[in-house]
Amino acid sequence: MRRSKYFMPTLKETPSEAQIPSHRLMLRAGMVRQTAAGIYSWLPMGYRVLRKIEQIVREEMDATGAQEILMPTIQPAELWQESGRYDDYGKEMLRINDRHDRALLYGPTHEEIVTDIFRNSVRSYRDLPQNLYQIHWKFRDEVRPRFGVMRGREFFMKDNYSFDIDAESARRSYNKMFVSYLRTFARMGLTPIPMQADSGAIGGDMSHEFIVLADTGESAVYCDRDWFKTDPLSLEIDFDADLQPIVDRWTELYAATDEKHDAENCPIDEKQLYTGRGIEVGHIFYFGTKYSDSMGATVSDSEGKETKVEMGSYGIGVSRLVGAIIEANHDDDGIIWPESVAPFKAGIINLRAGDEGCDGVCQQLYDGLTEAGVDALYDDRDERAGVKFAEMDLIGLPWQIAVGPRGVKAGTVEIKQRGGEREEVSVESALARLT
Ligand code: 5CA
């Protein structure tokens, strides 16, 4: 992509409404624009990151055997009246009447819809277990939308729902999601901490929040310092095997939120206890027959007896993750994208656009990267070098290659990793490093 043609409305000034780094940086880098309170439009660069995160989530969901579906954002009130949540949900639910005066709502979550699909389609234990997921928009009319996409009213979520014949099998489904979440967040360069949590409006008796550390996070975190010693990506995971040992290994380290942390009885000794703040990027729930009971979702078991199906639901805040990743990866100059979610892998900076030599080398780099399937943003504008370097640091691409007249004469370019040291190398070795 050529910077001169790219729609990336960066801001020089720090927007006064933004209180935390990720919100400031997302506005300054032209990734998003607020359309209404807590409602955002995603501009090209922000949307590229959102899609990268979405794709990692999708790949990791698929790896567990979950199947992707797409449910409507607008839902009929009747299903929520059946489950008993229509009144409970209160003002957070955006309620709508259609032209026939039928009560609809913009879905804040999808337990009711998916339970309805299930009860109309599945009759026998032979069709279980099932696990269905979707990635799309939710609306919650939060009292205090804030921190940009971190606490929006409209936000992008991955939500999935498991259906099992009994509690033991439901536990296996829960464990799969638990382990899959460790991998998912680790692939985005984050350290996920699963913590025992309250299940709130979703209900149920087993629940874990997945927290990533950031000083600006809304949740307090208490965990064992040994937490940070194991990389989930280093584990061989077979989703058909018993995952309980992996879950135990993580939960034995003990981590808890404010509500669950009990200073008197905390099993971790003081020196080992890490206390900090974090951002909730995922939340998983096992709620048994809460919805199958109220909504009548049953299947016949191996003896032909009608049995209420055991359910769980599992969420990941896909749009929140864009902010959370920035909170965990930035410096005074801007964002520092982990490669797996970066909007482009490299930025090419032409230090003298219009100079034949510089233009030629930049084009050679750009073509070479494009042919190798490496996304690059080529700053071909007629702008001061300082402006270009500052913008590249702001938008945080993992690699920068600067091309100037002096280097071109010597057959070299300057390559550096965001936040790292500059190095003079040949055009070929710059290409080799990135491809
Ligand atoms: N039905 C369950 C699981 S699918 C559910 O809705 N869980 S949740 O309420 O915990 O939401 C799942 C994730 O969505 C949260 O962990 C959080 O990362 C994200 N999320 C929740 N509210 C917001 C919000 N207002 N703005 C951005 N992300 C949010």
Centre of ligand 1 to C-alpha 316, Å, is 6
Centre of ligand 1 to C-alpha 344, Å, is 28
Centre of ligand 1 to C-alpha 11, Å, is 30
Tokens matching residue 84: 């008993």
Question: Tell me, what amino acid is at 35?
Answer: T
> Which ligand 1 atom sits closest to the C-alpha of 321?
18
Residue with the nearest Cα to atom 27 of ligand 1?
151
Domain boundaries, the chain: 3-335, 346-434
Of the candidates 85, 86, 106, 111, the one whose C-alpha atom is nearest the C-alpha of residue 95 is 106
Dist CA 418 CA 107 (whole Å): 40
Place of tokens 């439901």: 170
Place of tokens 């879950």: 247
pLDDT by position in tens, the chain (length 435) = 999 999 999 998 888 889 999 999 999 999 999 999 999 999 999 999 999 999 999 999 999 999 999 999 999 999 999 999 999 999 999 999 999 999 999 999 999 999 999 999 999 999 999 999 999 999 999 999 999 999 999 999 999 999 999 999 999 999 999 999 999 999 999 988 998 877 666 666 789 999 998 888 888 888 888 888 888 999 889 999 999 999 988 887 787 777 778 888 888 888 889 898 999 999 999 999 999 999 999 999 999 999 999 999 999 999 999 999 999 999 999 999 999 999 999 999 999 999 999 999 999 999 999 999 999 999 999 999 999 999 999 999 999 999 999 999 999 999 999 989 999 999 999 999 999
Main-chain phi, psi angles of 374, to 5 degrees:
-95, 125
> Which ligand 1 atom sits closest to the C-alpha of 153?
25
Long-range contacts of 243-250 (CB under 8 A, 24+ apart): 243/172, 243/175, 243/176, 243/178, 243/179, 244/171, 244/175, 246/175, 246/179, 247/175, 247/178, 247/179, 250/178, 250/182, 250/194
**3-335: what fold?**
BirA Bifunctional Protein; domain 2 (3.30.930)
User: Using one digit for the tens of pLDDT, what is the confidence trace for 370-422?
Assistant: 999 999 999 999 999 999 999 999 999 999 999 999 999 999 999 999 989 99
- Which architecture characterizes domain 346-434 according to CATH? 3-Layer(aba) Sandwich (3.40)
Which residues approach ligand 1 with their CB closer than 6 A?
109, 111, 140, 142, 151-152, 155, 157, 159, 202, 280-283, 285, 313-315, 317, 319-320
DSSP, collapsed to helix, strand or coil, labels residue 23 as: helix
Centre of ligand 1 to C-alpha 392, Å, is 32
Dist CA 134 CA 183 (whole Å): 18
> Which ligand 1 atom sits closest to the C-alpha of 111?
1
> Which ligand 1 atom sits closest to the C-alpha of 281?
18
Centre of ligand 1 to C-alpha 54, Å, is 15
Residue with the nearest Cα to atom 16 of ligand 1?
282
> Which ligand 1 atom sits closest to the C-alpha of 110?
1
Tokens matching residue 101: 């005066």
Q: CB neighbours of 108 closer than 8 A, spacing ≥ 6?
A: 89, 92, 93, 94, 138, 139, 140
Dist CA 379 CA 71 (whole Å): 41
User: Using one digit for the tens of pLDDT, what is the confidence trace for 222-269?
Assistant: 888 888 888 899 988 999 999 999 998 888 778 777 777 888 888 888
Centre of ligand 1 to C-alpha 359, Å, is 47
